[in-house]
Amino acid sequence: MPEISDDIVKKIENTYEAVNEIKIVLKGYNGQEGLCKQVSDLDKKHDDLNGKFKLLCGILIGAGVLYGGSVGLLKLF
């Protein structure tokens, strides 16, 4: 069986440490949120905001505010 040199062992240890640090950043550590959780929360907030914006546009179109304003601008130009 071939011998593993000290250089290869050090590279393996460095790779293990780097992967472990990446895992901690992505998943979090000791009760802190990681990036995955933060992105998930941001996505939920974005979806809520997008829904509220569509609702507001629907209400304004239904009330004629956007339609009347756009017709007024077209007549202005």
pLDDT attached to residue 2: 74
pLDDT attached to residue 1: 62
Instruction: Write out residues in the chain with pLDDT < 70, as ranges.
Output: 1
Supply the pTM of this predicted model: 0.61
pLDDT attached to residue 63: 80
pLDDT attached to residue 69: 76
Show me where the domains of the chain are located: 6-76
pLDDT attached to residue 56: 92
- Give how far Cα 11 sits from Cα of 1, 14, 25, 43, Å: 20, 5, 21, 37
